[in-house]
Structure 1
């Protein structure tokens, strides 16, 4: 009886289709669904992630950094009080 790992029978060569299927074909969408958050600004940033689907890996960093900065800005805006920004406080004029 022959060990299957040492079978001397030559294997058929792979077909051209099988070889092409194993080679990377370039950028392709990952197909990750994005659930809307209800915040238009955040949803627009998350939709920007789709831009990375059509770029090579070297282009992903710029998209991810842009989206990350936009999301940080949106979170930071939650800590700011509503209304116009206040200028620097004026010192009291203590003239007597």
Structure 2
């Protein structure tokens, strides 16, 4: 007798002519990491330093996924520096 499934109904017996799921050949190459541009565009903010960092994000569009992290970290660092500069006192003359 087959084991009951959740809900108390018995599981159907396996059919003898059912094919097992297809397995990739053992010598097959792993899938290649393709770079397909997403076409993400950023809207200018009107603040030059921020806009230049946001434009840098477009560089990631032409990189493999493995290269995105470096761009994102660079942009994050630049944006953080821009925000920090806003807190610095402006020297008075």
Change beyond 3 A, Cα 1:77–1:26: same
Q: TM-score, normalised by structure 2?
A: 0.60
Give the greater-gyration-radius structure (CA).
1
Q: TM-score, normalised by structure 1?
A: 0.58
CA distance in 2, matches of 1:25, 1:76: 37
Shift of 1:33: 2.2
Aligned length in residues: 62
The CA RMSD over aligned residues, in Å, is 2.0
- Which stretches of structure 1, 4 residues or more, deviate above 6 A after TM superposition? none
| Gaps in structure 2 of 5+ consecutive residues | 1-30
Task: Tell me if 1:30 matches 2:38.
Answer: yes
| Gaps in structure 1 of 5+ consecutive residues | 1-22, 85-96
Given that residues 37 and 62 in structure 2 are in contact (C-alpha distance below 8 angstroms), is that contact kept between their aligned partners in structure 1?
Answer: yes
